[in-house]
Amino acid sequence: MKTDINSRLHILYLPRWYPHRYDPMMGLFIERHGKSVSAHVDVSVLYVHADDELHGKPYEIIRSEEGLFSIHIYFRKSTLKPAILANLINLFRFINSHRRGFRIIRKQRRKANVVHVHVLTRLGVIALINKIITKTPYVITEHWTRYLPTTDTYHGTLRKFMTRIVVQNASAVMPVTANLRDAMIDNKLVNDNYVVIPNVVNIGMFTPKFDRQIPEKKKLVHLSCFTDKQKNISGILRVMKKLSKKRDDFELTFIGDGEDFAEMKAISDKLGLTDNVVKFAGLKENDELAAMLSDADLMIMFSYFENLPVVILESYASGVPVVSTRVGGIHEHLNDDLGKLTQAGDEDEFLQTLDEVLDNPGKYNRKKIRKYAEDHFGEDVIGKSLYEVYESVGR
């Protein structure tokens, strides 16, 4: 049921990651959060991006109403020497971009009832300053793995101090998993209103093939950004080599692109896997991605660290089971009806698990997997959860 248009809250998103002209996939899950709740509230997005390619004026402002109303501000990134001077100029331009963006959105729409920060810490400071000046409350959604002990990347006395102040003054903190919530609390990020709200999946984009017959050669897929230190793609390739010596009734398609793509392709070539056991499909989006997922028998991940990857949710929406490492919050949404968990870095266990799953391809019920996605990650479900938080904070 949609909210009366005359009483709708106005929510301003401040995302650290968001689709932009250089990377249309960056922070797509944040845009999906906004779309999921847009039936109930008006969402505006202010995204600021440092731009190495910007010439002429120091700022470029782009207004868009595709999907969500958004103001993208690109500022020219300074490279002056010494580096401390460039950093000060860039900090000024970052803050000034947000000042301009707030003014534009207030003029073209209206003052926000709630500011929603996606990913700390700098944007949390912006929201805190705005709260002090305008009395506008802010909430936080955190996606970042940096608080997890396995990553050990949450450093810096000033960063930690400011993050604690920002979290303490937020009206709600919404990590995407309970595991991330606990890691934030362990790092002394105290708030009385932690609410776990997972990422959202576009249920309508994915159409499971419930009557699909299992082929003689099972189709495995892996979707990622090709960062080996996180996704352990090299480990997947080594396991594929071992698995191919035991059986020949499967093939794996890698979907995606990223910093280590060429290196991983070279490893696959060296192992004699490419175009035989392993295929590299490159980046796929929207309908093309949905078609590839719906035609898969299994999605696999072998990451060293994660929170709750959207690719797992998209696999569920396609009715496809998942074999993944037990890292981050994945175990919160992966049980024996949905797939199998293995230990990070344990190639022998990963190999054995894949072998067992391939021996029992009819074990998983695609309708049950799809239903889990609808009940836990559908736009209506996540949108309602976000709306309840906004209502409690913004009225």
Contacts of 336 (CB under 8 A, 6+ apart): none
Q: How far apart are CA 288 and CA 294, in angstroms?
A: 10
Q: How far apart are CA 103 and CA 111, in angstroms?
A: 9
- Give the tens place of pLDDT for each residue, 236-254: 999 999 999 999 999 999 9
Closest CA to 92 of 103, 100, 102: 100
Provide the pLDDT for residue 247: 96
C-alpha triplet 28, 33, 35: angle, nearest 5°: 95
Q: How far apart are CA 323 and CA 163, in angstroms?
A: 35
The CATH superfamily label for domain 5-200+378-394 reads: Glycogen Phosphorylase B; (3.40.50.2000)
Provide the pLDDT for residue 1: 44
Provide the pLDDT for residue 55: 85
CA terminus-to-terminus distance, the chain: 19
Closest CA to 128 of 164, 166, 98: 166
- Domain ranges in the chain? 5-200+378-394, 203-376
Provide the pLDDT for residue 180: 95
Q: How far apart are CA 59 and CA 73, in angstroms?
A: 7
Regions in the chain scoring below 50 on pLDDT: 1-3
Residue 235 Rama label (left phi>0; alpha psi -120 to 50; beta) = alpha
Domains 5-200+378-394 and 203-376 fall in the same CATH topology: yes
- Amino acid 146 reads R
The CATH superfamily label for domain 203-376 reads: Glycogen Phosphorylase B; (3.40.50.2000)
Neighbour tally for 369: CB within 10 Å: 21
Q: How far apart are CA 105 and CA 303, in angstroms?
A: 40
Distance of CA 249 to the CA centre of its chain: 32
Whole-prediction pTM? 0.90
Provide the pLDDT for residue 6: 57
Provide the pLDDT for residue 319: 97
- Give the tens place of pLDDT for each residue, 280-320: 999 998 899 999 999 999 999 999 999 999 999 999 999 99
Closest CA to 15 of 24, 4, 26: 26
Contact yes or no for 182/307 (Cβ under 8 A) = no
C-alpha triplet 172, 177, 183: angle, nearest 5°: 80
